[in-house]
């Protein structure tokens, strides 16, 4: 599985007085098994972009090639594409609706025409992958669960369809710090267990820097920067001009360097920063 996006352009309300260009000539590639991050301000085109990747939106121009198939062409069976490309919207727990967790997670697989045994296996595996105990939650109403558990169940509903690409739009939004870390750890474990492509949209620069192989920064629907997290975040002046941040640990290392301490600046987390500062002070 691989994704190649070429010169993707999308216009809302085309031909009307309030026509708006949401994406303009955006291009990137995601190789099999890669973890990709997308950053940008509200209105930069992030959500519009990811909705193109499973055919919820059609572009004005450009192409989206998924595993060799251009899904923008007429006649492409979108049901099959959406089975391969799972999309978890922001606050997915708002979409829970069944009377118990097992039925909610089973909704997607059931619509794929699987047998009862296959559905049950998918549900059990998905619930396990999101870190919940099937025997404890299966018969419970999803509305009785904690916020973090609800989000895990909602994500399990997408994972149960066994997508080869998992796209997540701000999966830690609105969560307390502990649950934020737990959900992010869960996403990493899912990626490790399945080997699928993960595309993460986030405003948390540390999460992006520590987990992603590639990073796309958008500004007003256009590509601002694209590359590895190190390549993108080392362009801090360009990011700052666009109102985007770099990881706090990296920002701190820049400030120390500006004050004369000989430290590496391409550091994304506090633990590594502490080791580098200790090394510099010893030197």
pLDDT per residue as tens digits for the range 77-110: 888 888 899 999 999 999 899 999 999 999 999 9
Average pLDDT over residues 11-26: 92
- The pLDDT of residue 132: 95
pLDDT of residue 250: 96
pTM of the model: 0.93
Q: What pLDDT, on a 0 to 100 scale, did the predictor assign at position 228?
A: 96
Percent of the chain residues topping a pLDDT of 70 = 100
Q: How long a stretch of residues is the chain?
A: 283
Token code pair at residue 201: 């949209």
- Could you give the angle at which helices 116-129 and 177-194 cross, rounded to 10 degrees? 130
Angle ∠(112,113,119) on CA atoms, nearest 5 = 80
Q: How far apart are CA 87 and CA 207, in angstroms?
A: 19
| Residues 224 and 238: beta-carbon distance below 8 Å | yes
Cβ neighbours of residue 107 closer than 8 Å, sequence gap 6 or more: 98, 157
User: What pLDDT is recorded for position 278?
Assistant: 95
pLDDT band (50, 70, 90) for residue 15: confident
With a CB cutoff of 8 Å and minimum separation 6, the contacts of 259 are none
The span from the CA of 103 to the CA of 134, in Å, is: 12
List pLDDT tens digits, range 185-209.
Answer: 999 999 999 999 999 999 999 999 9
- The sheet with strand 69-70 has its strands ordered as 20-30, 3-12, 61-66, 69-70
Give the model confidence (pLDDT) of 19-38 as tens digits.
999 999 999 999 999 999 99
Tens digit of each residue's pLDDT (9 = 90 or more) over 142-186: 999 999 999 999 999 999 999 999 999 999 999 999 999 999 999
- What is the pLDDT, as a whole number, of residue 187? 94
Q: Give the model's pLDDT for residue 65.
A: 96
Please give the sequence-ordered ranges of beta strands (E in DSSP) within the chain, or none if there are none. 3-12, 20-30, 35-39, 61-66, 69-70, 85-88, 165-169, 197-201, 214-219, 222-227
Percent of the chain beyond pLDDT 90? 90
Task: State the virtual CA torsion across 266, 269, 271, 272 in degrees, nearest 10.
Answer: -20
| Structure confidence by residue, pLDDT tens digits, 32-58 | 999 999 999 999 999 999 999 999 999
Q: What is the pLDDT of residue 1?
A: 86
**Residue 8, SS3?**
strand
């Amino acid at each position: 599985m691989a994704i190649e996006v070429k010169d993707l352009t999308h216009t809302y309300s085309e031909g009307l007085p309030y026509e708006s260009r949401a994406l303009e000539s955006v291009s990137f590639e995601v190789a099999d098994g890669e973890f990709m991050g997308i950053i940008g301000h509200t209105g930069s085109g992030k959500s519009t972009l990811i909705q193109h990747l499973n055919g919820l939106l059609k572009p004005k121009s450009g192409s989206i090639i998924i595993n060799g198939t251009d899904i923008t062409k007429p006649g492409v069976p979108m049901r099959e594409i959406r089975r391969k490309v799972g999309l978890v919207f922001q606050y997915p727990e708002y979409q829970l609706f069944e009377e118990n967790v097992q039925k909610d997670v089973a909704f997607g697989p059931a619509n794929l025409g699987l047998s009862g045994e296959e559905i049950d296996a998918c549900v059990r595996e998905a619930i396990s992958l999101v870190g919940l105990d099937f025997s404890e939650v299966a018969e419970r109403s999803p509305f009785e669960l904690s916020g973090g558990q609800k989000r895990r169940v909602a994500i399990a509903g997408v994972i149960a369809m066994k997508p080869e690409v998992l796209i997540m739009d701000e999966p830690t939004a609105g969560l307390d710090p502990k649950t934020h870390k737990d959900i992010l750890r869960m996403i990493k474990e899912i990626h490790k267990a399945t080997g699928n492509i993960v595309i993460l949209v986030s405003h948390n620069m540390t999460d992006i820097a520590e987990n992603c192989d590639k990073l796309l920064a958008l500004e007003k629907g256009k590509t601002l920067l694209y590359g590895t997290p190190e390549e993108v975040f080392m362009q801090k002046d360009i990011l700052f001009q666009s109102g985007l941040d770099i990881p706090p640990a990296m920002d701190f290392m820049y400030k120390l360097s500006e004050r004369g301490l000989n430290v590496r600046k391409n550091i994304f987390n506090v633990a590594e920063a502490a080791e580098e500062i200790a090394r510099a002070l010893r030197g």
